[in-house]
Amino acid sequence: MSRFEDIFGQPPAVIAQAPGRVNLLGEHTDYNDGFVLPTAIPQQTTVSLRPSGGGEFIVHAADLASESRFGRDAPPGDHFAQYVYGCIRGVEASGTHVPILDIHVRSTVPMGVGLSSSAALEVAMLRALRDLLSLDIDDVRIAQMAQRAEIDHAGVNCGIMDQMASSLADSSRMLFLDTRTLERRVLPRPAGTELLVLDSGLSRSLAASAYNMRRAECEAASNALGIAALRDVTDASSVDSLPEPQRRRARHVVSENRRVLEAANGVDAEHFGRLMNASHASLRDDYEVSVPTLDALVEMLQSHPDVHGARLTGAGFGGACVALCREGAAAGAGRDVIERYRRAGHVGRMLVPEPEENP
């Protein structure tokens, strides 16, 4: 794996990191101004950079063995570099000149499985620029700028959860976040537990188009109910007046917000696990963002004796699942479930805890 020095011939001026995230509860609620409960994962994205004095920005993505070059006013064609470009333009829009840079990116955050590798890249890039340019911006502002970079320059109409989690969360606790007000609390996980994250091996090829459709359906439901966002539903039965599929989409968001609030008030591991199981059923049946193979993996997790509860995490249609396990048992449960999953003809892998063979 290349280092900054290997590519650019000298050491970087600044090195910054940011983690990926897994969402424990609160799926598809952030763009409805709702509540979420993510936590950071151990894997990190590292951005190293220094002013180059050259005529164009150079971004080398070590994990992709790919390089992108672009000018200040010429967006890059490479998708990974668009996130970096968006961060640079965001800093310049705030009134600070960004010099031409050599940039090296390395990441252990799994890509394309719903663990926010893009948010980790954005937050790490903005942290590096903050250090290099002595910017007076806090971690909340970092998250907000990262979100704008993704929306405006990578073309993803995302909510704020991923960037807030990458910027503010740690891997030992949960971040309870109100995505409307950005009020937040750092909370302990239920006592005697640890997390397990598995990659289903399914490509999320439908996730982007379905995500946009679900957003539109939720906005239509809010308009029909005469409220700003589904977060403002005060009587759960009011969604029953909506036509399908808006009724089911709204029912998921309303029930998911309640699950997050219940968990944030403090519940034991078994109760938390039941909330995760209910969340998956709602995502499967009301929000319709799961697929049979993903459901099968979740069911295998839910039936394991060391697992309190499990659900898909991320946009859905493939990607990762998260489980709350008995402390000390996550790795063993992960190996058991992946072996069973592979015997059923599927290809999956354990991501958290990181397998011993991973660097």
DSSP string, 68-100: EEEBTTB--SSHHHHHHHHHHHHHHHTT-----
207 plus 183 within the same structural domain: no
Instruction: Please tell me whether residues 90 and 209 are part of one structural domain.
Output: no
Backbone angles phi, psi at 277, to 5 degrees: -60, -40
pLDDT value, residue 154? 85
Q: Let me know whether 139 and 237 are in one domain.
A: no
Percent of the chain's residues with pLDDT above 90: 89
Residues 42-53 pLDDT 10s: 999 999 999 998
Active site residue 232: no
Torsion, Cα 163 167 170 176, to 10 degrees, reads: -60
Rounded Cα–Cα distance for residues 232 and 79 (Å): 36
Q: Annotated catalytic residue: which of 30, 33, 102, 162?
A: 162
pLDDT at res. 207: 67
User: Mean pLDDT throughout 91-95?
Assistant: 96
Q: Residue type for 232, please?
A: D
pTM of the model: 0.94
Number of domains in the chain: 2
**Domain boundary at 145, 162, 188, which?**
188
Percent of the chain residues topping a pLDDT of 70: 98
CA distance 51 to 102: 6
What pLDDT band is residue 358 in, cutting at 50, 70 and 90?
Answer: very low
Domain range for residue 137? 4-188
What is the pLDDT, as a whole number, of residue 359? 37
Answer yes or no: do 171 and 34 share one domain: yes
The number of helix segments (H) and strand segments (E) in the chain equals: 10, 11
Whether residue 359 lies inside any domain: the answer is no
Question: Cα separations (Å) of 239 from 26, 315, 341?
Answer: 19, 23, 37
Cα 43 from Cα 68, distance rounded (Å): 24
Q: Which two tokens stand for residue 97?
A: 């000149």
- On the question of pLDDT at 213 being above 70, the answer is yes
Within this chain, do residues 100 and 234 fall inside the same structural domain, yes or no? no
Among 188, 211, 243, identify where a domain stops. 188
> Across residues 235-249, what is the average pLDDT?
97
Domain containing residue 317: CATH number = 3.30.70.890
pLDDT of residue 155: 82
Q: Is residue 358 part of a domain?
A: no
Please give the average per-residue pLDDT across 213-224, as a whole number. 96
